[in-house]
Amino acid sequence: MAEILTITANPALDLSTDAPAVIPDRKLRCTAPLIHPGGGGVNISRAIANLGGESRALVAYGGQTGQQLVDLIEAEGLTCGSLGVDYATRQSISVRDMATGLQYRFMMPGSDWTASDAEAACDAILGAVTPGALVIPSGSLPPGLSVDFFLDLVPDLAAQGARMVIDTSGPALSRAAEAKAGLYVLRMDTAEAEELTGRTLSDLHDIAALTSELRAAGAAEIVVVAAGAQGTVIDTGDWRGLTRPPVVVVHSKIGAGDSFMGAFALSLSRGEDAVTACCWGTAAAASAVTTHGTELCRREEVERFFGQVERVGM
């Protein structure tokens, strides 16, 4: 079984709460906040733990918020290591408007990284990688960190038989898509795909065509695009299609993508094929949206939903 190593360069302490209504120029009396450790890689490791799997999380953390983040991570039974960069950890907050059901998410920036910070993180990652591992950088990049940072690690990882699975956004996604860096998996959601291409992806066939374009261009061996409630489109080279989830009642979309990645990676680490892994990921995302705030997928639900996921060739 392959080890899973998640990397979070820009984590956050996530607070989520409800307000009777979100309106300007008034004090909004909110409910007691839920506090969870956040950041793409952190949440992927949390999702893996929820599903009964194991991973190691490498995180850049510092200050009181950073210590609280680590305490919360370890309280969930996860193994947390440092990237060797110790700026004070940022915070984020999500507020659900109880009058409309809409959710507002406020994301604070991280601290600026220097060249020596990047070097320390590189050493930490390469020192933690084991042969054959799945390495998953996920989430936003802190200011100052090059969009090529993770891509530049791929040759050293490949020398150890490790494979990189990237789930990112913005300029880092654009660079990953064009770099032909030898990625194993490249994942994004539809909004990110539209930003990447500069065109509207109006239906699933447009999304499927994009996955094939990116594969053919050498972006990654496997390309995955989340299409919301419709499911996830994947192109492995051997199969292209949609993994369609069961219909569920949505409470919060926070954590759906990270839950997908956790279940997807866990399945791959166990030797299952990529399409089966995508079905597990789709089931996990469906479970995550039924939870409140920053909660993630639930194992019993994921196992039940997995049997209801449809595979539709395209």
Instruction: Indicate the domain borders of the chain.
Output: 4-313
Q: What is the CA radius of gyration of the chain?
A: 19
Give the separation between CA 69 and CA 46, rounded to whole angstroms.
12
Q: Can you list the residues of the chain whose pLDDT is less than 70?
A: 293-294
pLDDT recorded at residue 293: 62
258 belongs to the catalytic site = yes
pLDDT recorded at residue 135: 97
pLDDT recorded at residue 240: 98
pLDDT recorded at residue 258: 93
Residue-by-residue DSSP string for 222-281: EEEEE-GGG-EEEE-SS-EEEEEPPP---S--TTHHHHHHHHHHHHHHTT--HHHHHHHH
Give the separation between CA 264 and CA 60, rounded to whole angstroms.
24
Which residue is catalytic, options 97, 152, 258, 273? 258
Residue-by-residue DSSP string for the chain: ---EEEEESS-EEEEEEEES---TTS---PPPPEEEEESHHHHHHHHHHHTT---EEEE---HHHHHHHHHHHHHTT-EEEE-S--PPPEEEEEEEETTT--EEEEE---PPP-HHHHHHHHHHHHHH--TT-EEEEBSPPPTT--TTTTGGGHHHHHHTT-EEEEE--HHHHHHHHHS---EEEEEEEHHHHHHHHTS---SHHHHHHHHHHHHHTTSEEEEEEE-GGG-EEEE-SS-EEEEEPPP---S--TTHHHHHHHHHHHHHHTT--HHHHHHHHHHHHHHHTTS-TT----HHHHHHHHTT-EEEE-
- 68-105 pLDDT, tens digit per residue, is 999 999 998 888 999 999 999 999 999 999 999 888 98
Q: Tokens 């150890």 map to which residue?
A: 160
pLDDT recorded at residue 103: 86
pLDDT recorded at residue 140: 87
pTM equals 0.90
Q: According to CATH, what is the number of the domain 4-313?
A: 3.40.1190.20
For residue 198, how many other CB atoms are within 10 A of its CB? 6
Give the separation between CA 194 and CA 179, rounded to whole angstroms.
18
- In Å, the largest CA–CA distance within the chain is 57
pLDDT recorded at residue 294: 65
